[in-house]
Amino acid sequence: MAVNLFYFFVFPGLLFVAVTGAFLSWFDRKISARVQFRKGPPLLQPFYDFFKLLLVKETILPKQGSPMMFLMAPVFAVFGAVMAGVFILLPLFNITTGFKGDLLVIFYLLTIPSFSYIMGALASGNPLAAVGGSREMKLILSYEFTFLLVIAGIIMKCGQHFDLYTIIQTQQSGTPFIGSISGVLLFIVGIFCIQAKLAMVPFDMPEAEAEITEGIFIEYSGPAYGLIKLTKYIMLFILPAFLIALLMNGFRLNGINILWAVLKVLLVVLLITLIRNTNPRIKIKQAMSFFVIWMNLLAVFALVLIAFGY
């Protein structure tokens, strides 16, 4: 029991993912600033933002709508993100959970933050939040199936194993899955799914700040918005970590390999940031056809290649 609580709150759980995610969020903002020839924020900026929201600002409850749901949604979001983080990071740090089938649990846990955003947005009673919520829902409908196809590809590749620990071990004893044609295709599809899950720029229509003024988060202020920021930091860490576990060999924690692990995370985040900085926001219709037609085709093509052993 005590060790489970430790897992949840301290080591791969809340504290660790939050701090790492905050640093990655700084990295993301700094790289964006460098891409635009600016200097960018200081290292501790995400912490200042979070503590300001948590300690200084007040939370305003919307007059129309359901305050209970509105306030619970960010808590659910943090909970889902941390649970997913624990399930992803335990196998990554070579701690076996003995849980056969955690891949599907992770898949469901990763959707909890998006669903809680939608619930919070709809509970706020704001029309712009409702627009954002419906866009987020359409986005989920389009990328979830693609993401499932990526996971199915990984399961096929490692020989019908549903647990992350075995997948990582299979790659570490052989070659990483990204070292084959199908692996590269799965990686491309996966990175776009992550981009949409993080709601980063080509797919940020739920919170388009110039168009519907932050959409789903429009009514949040103070500590509740702080929790949403925290969820965003956590997701920015665990989604790249998940992709690394699935395709890029996981982490190895001895000697120089620790450096490689850090570099792998930074590389995936860098890729996401560059995609975000070099693309305009697309319409929700375009995003849906992008995933439902093109990304699904690519993923199915990768599955066929895997079936033939490439």
Partner 1 sequence: MGFKNFCFKKSLWVFHFGGASCNNCDIEILDCLTPKHDLERFGILLVGSIRHADVLLVNGSINMKDKNRLLEIYNQAPRPILVVAIGACGCTGGLFADSITFAGPVDKIIPVDAYIPGCPPKPEAIIGGIVKLVNKK
By C-beta, is 52 or 283 nearer to partner 1?
52
Shortest Cβ 205–partner 1 spacing (Å): 14
Residue 12 gets which letter from DSSP? S
Q: Applying CB under 8 A, does 161 fall inside the site for partner 1?
A: no
By C-beta, is 3 or 210 nearer to partner 1?
210
Q: Applying CB under 8 A, does 37 fall inside the site for partner 1?
A: yes
Task: State the binding string over 59-98 for partner 1 (x if CB under 8 A, else -).
Answer: xx--------------------------------------
By CB under 8 A, name the one of 11, 19, 29, 115 that touches partner 1: 29
Characterise 65 by phi-psi region: left (phi > 0), alpha (psi -120 to 50), beta (else).
left
Shortest Cβ 136–partner 1 spacing (Å): 16
Binders of partner 1 among residues 210 to 229 (CB under 8 A) are 210, 213-214, 217-222, 225
Choose the stretch contacting partner 1; rule: CB under 8 A; options: 1-9, 32-40, 96-104, 272-280.
32-40
Q: How far is CA 215 from CA 125, 126, 128, in A?
A: 12, 9, 6
Structure tokens at 12: 């791969």
Q: How far is CA 93 from CA 14, 79, 109, 124, 199, in A?
A: 15, 21, 19, 39, 27
Q: Applying CB under 8 A, does 121 fall inside the site for partner 1?
A: no
> CB–CB of 129/209 below 8 Å?
no
By C-beta, is 77 or 88 nearer to partner 1?
77
Say how many Å lie between the first and final Cα of the chain, rounded: 44
Shortest Cβ 221–partner 1 spacing (Å): 4
Q: How far apart are CA 303 and CA 152, in angstroms?
A: 8
Q: Applying CB under 8 A, does 56 fall inside the site for partner 1?
A: yes
- Torsion, CA 98, CA 104, CA 105, CA 107, rounded to 10: 130
By CB under 8 A, name the one of 15, 42, 127, 310 that touches partner 1: 42
Shortest Cβ 35–partner 1 spacing (Å): 11
Q: Applying CB under 8 A, does 28 fall inside the site for partner 1?
A: no
Q: How far apart are CA 151 and CA 223, in angstroms?
A: 35
Q: How far apart are CA 154 and CA 306, in angstroms?
A: 9
Q: Applying CB under 8 A, does 209 fall inside the site for partner 1?
A: yes
Contacts of residue 139, defined as CB under 8 A and 6 or more positions apart, other chains included, come to 114, 196, 199, 203, 205, 206, 284, 287, 288
Q: Applying CB under 8 A, does 38 fall inside the site for partner 1?
A: yes
Which residue type does 72 have?
A: M
How many residues in the shown chain lie near partner 1 by CB under 8 A? 33
Backbone angles phi, psi at 221, to 5 degrees: -145, 160
Choose the stretch contacting partner 1; rule: CB under 8 A; options: 40-48, 111-119, 156-164, 252-260.
40-48
135: Cα separation from own chain's centroid:
18
By C-beta, is 201 or 265 nearer to partner 1?
201
Shortest Cβ 23–partner 1 spacing (Å): 16
Structure tokens at 226: 């702080």
Binding site for partner 1 (CB under 8 A): 29, 33, 36-42, 44-45, 47-49, 51-52, 55-60, 209-210, 213-214, 217-222, 225
